Structure 1
Amino acid sequence: EAICSVYIQPEGVPVPAHPASQQQSYRHVSETVEHKSYGTQGYTSEQSRQTQKIAYTNGTDYSSTDDFKVDTFEYRLLREVSFRESITKRYVGESDIYINTEIDKSLGPVSPPKIAQKPRNSKLQEGTDAQFQVQLSGNPRPRVTWFKNGQRIVNSNKHEIVTTHNQTTLRIKNTQKSDSSHYTLLAENPNGCIVTSAYLVVESPQETYVQDHKSQYILDSQQTGIEERVEISEKALAPQFVRVCQDRDVTEGKMTRFDCRVTGRPYPEVTWFINERQIRDDYNHKILVNESGNHALMITNVDLRDSGVVTCIARNKSGETSFQCRLNVIEKEQVVAPKFVERFSTLSVREGEPVALNARAVGTPTPRITWQKDGVPIIPNPELRINTDGGASTLDIPRAKASDAAWYQCTAQNVAGSTATRARLYVEVPKEPPPEQKRLHLPRPTKIIEPEPAPGPEIIYLRHVERARPYIPPGEE
């Protein structure tokens, strides 16, 4: 919506000068429509379309934009254990570092956390205090964690968290426009966890909200100083679905999600039903909504009781509309690991004889049969045939050869597991008779070689040698 000013120039009158500094300013005051849903609420406001830098009490800076998906954040808190443990990690000195495991008999039987009263969306002016109250139960007593747009909040001068016997309260002091965010509560004990969220809108004092879905535009003229008030009434629009879900088949135990989008003014309230039974947030059903009119029903673990007609109804004061789709839950088939009821054993055959190795396995679903030879998968060929019928299989070798001697293994496999049976095949090759030994024909000798005569005695001649006299120096004689 916009306001356009037109100046009509009378004939013969000079055009008045309009300095660049003389510009008209407009103040647009409109009502923010509250978006409600079960457990997750949202507002459409100018603050949600601005990127702000928010300083959290725990010292962490976080850039908050309208891209923050509170439904995705809640889903990760519930389903991703490692993510939940990392984001809820306490600092040294905090009193609730560990989840309480002590069972309190005064709280009744052991049970996971449950939320009796969820926080409400709030719309306040700057400078006031905001407060979110949640009533919860559980045994052992749940540990409570508050988040602002996905960032953990700790006690500080800005935020005060008070938890009593069955109630927790988050108080935000002296709210500013930067406090406009999604606030999420996580309650957890050893038996489970649960989350819930609310949205806070903080308006500046200059912004005024008009009831009955009316918007008032004030035109300030700097040239004349005259204010013209133009009141425009918004036309109420009945709800209308622009995207709906289709019928689907889902296996028991799987996750499924129904998405739709609805328009209308004022913003319609959406309710989900399965077989005319209204669906509310619980451990298995999650109702999701964001600010653009997208709604979803997520079933994390589909049960046979969820099979039937899913109905979505959108209502506002202008009317209501609905659509239906069918959810067919396929019963989960019981699976049984394969088991051999017929095996083959080690076999010895002669070369050229036929060989048949038979095996049969049972299981649910019917197992798939494969064969291996010395650990290598067998590819059927005319000399090695494989016949399989259900869980029964036969390996045929029409004429065994020496190269067929090996370890043979039959494997049965299905989604529940696998098993195998193996044995060795020996192929006897007939021995050939030894060849006849051939005699050597040597020619007769033509010359007789006589042995050499024995050598005669050796004569040694000795010569007389006079023995030398010892040397005596002169003077010693």
Structure 2
Amino acid sequence: GKPPPRVTWWTNGEMIDDTDESPRAHTVTNTLTLARLTLAHLHTIIVCRASNSNHTAPVQTSVTIEMNFKPLTLKILSTREAISAGKEYELVCQCVGARPPPSITWWLDGVQLANATISTSSNGNVTLSKLLLVPKHSDGGKFLKCMGESPVIDHRPLQDQWKLDVQYTPQVYLAMGSSLSPDEIKEGDDVYFECNVRAHPYVYKVLWYHNGVQVQHNVSVGVIVSNQSLVIQRVRRQHTGLYTCVASNIEGDGQSNAVILKVQYAPVCASGQLHVYGAAKNEEVSVTCRLDAVPPVVHFFWRFNSSGDVVDIAENHVATQGLQSSLSYVARTELDYGTLLCWGSNALGRQKIPCAYKVVPAGKPNPPENCNLTNQTTETLTVHCVPGYDGGLVQKFIIEAYEADSKRLLLNITENTAPQFALRGLEPETSYIVHVYAANEKGPSEKWYLTGYTIKDIAERRTAQVRPPPEELVSVTPILAVVVAVVGSLVLLALVVAVVVSLKKNHCLRNKDVTLPLQTFLADTRDFDDKNPDLIPSNGSGERQKKSPSTPEEGGFGSIHICASVPYHNTVYSTYPRTPRSLSANTTQ
């Protein structure tokens, strides 16, 4: 400028340097040197001003001081308490004083973690790094580090570290005792299990389970639970199954793997099978014997026992598949009713107690007895009866209710347990005819007839005592009177016969407990076949029939009385030689 200007430096309204110089004509300069910058200089604005007259405004320019700093402090802010495996945690690392914002990284046992986010305060002085951590149980005892460094200044990085205390639910592993061979355990052996637990903090209880049911400590039955071991003394087949252990600490419950205990044992009778078969004369009945055994390779034996006569049945007259053996049997005479005995053997030995299957006479059931109306209301009739002889088979009971005037069937109810019925939803002040009868596989019994009526629908609807029906319902014609007389005579005759049969039955029962001395009757199977032409070799025919107990004096066998009693668990032998009588048997494959 002309005249030459004066050049000065200013800050915060104060002149800090007025030393200028003219290196050439018409040019003036002023160089400002700041000897030692400090944090106080950060963002300081310095103004360079030029002026050559008091009559004109000075011209000026400015500069702002920006500075780079390495980090001053770095710290992991999160509380350093125990953490749980599998849970998510947000960890924060704070770095103060770095410009520009520092580079912050996380490391776990020397491995850098990537899932972190960084934020910086508005003044750029504080930088936060947030890490989402899901620790594993294996991270316990490892060091988690946070490191911060300036991206533009070469310096030693700052760091903070935390030794992780990771708690976790128990890790459990179950094993059978090392001295045991799992495939060679048999009844009577001692077995033990070991529950190996890894947990932090340590467990406060260990529970044992067999097929999902908790095992209780009981020394008297040979079950000993001792912290992390289970001992079963004199193991039995009932102990077969899956075993697990569950260990618990404050983090939760840890369940082990399942260990299978397979106990080998000699054959025994399987549960849930039919033990009484009802059959008429010359009727083929398929008797099935089912066993349980481990190993399941079983050889079957059959015998027939009746009134002290014991006969072995040859293998070619039975059909065997796995743990099941079947025999088709035909009772030709009254003496052919008795008990079939079946047992088996495997590598562990022979069955101790044979399975017993009784073959008894069977036919249609007798009708229910003593049927009475026990309660009458405006809408309900209640009928109670006593079951009659079931014919040697499982019976059910049926009631049919007809409207007396229209003869229309209103209700048909079947009961499987007892002949007791409640007829509901009937019309008030109405007469009904009721038929009650029993039925089994052989067919229905005769029917028991009743006449009843519902009472008048009055406000109280009180239950009435059973009383005779209205007079108009029981008017008797001459023909009806004759029919009633004949029926009455037949009923009286039937009662007399029943009393006589009952007396004979009681006589048999008083003598049924006689025990015969035991003597084995061993028949050679070839000789047995020769002397018994009714024994039919296995031909693959016949079906299994489910029968139930019967009494010989009913169902068409009134003159036959079998007084011998054969318990399921005993075999009765005669004390004197007897010629084997004919035995009729067919076999199913």
**Does TM, scored on the shorter chain, surpass 0.5?**
no
What TM-score, normalized by structure 1, do the two folds share? 0.26
Instruction: Report which structure shows greater RCO (CA 8 Å, sep ≥6).
Output: 1
TM score, norm. by length of structure 2: 0.22
More helix by share: 2
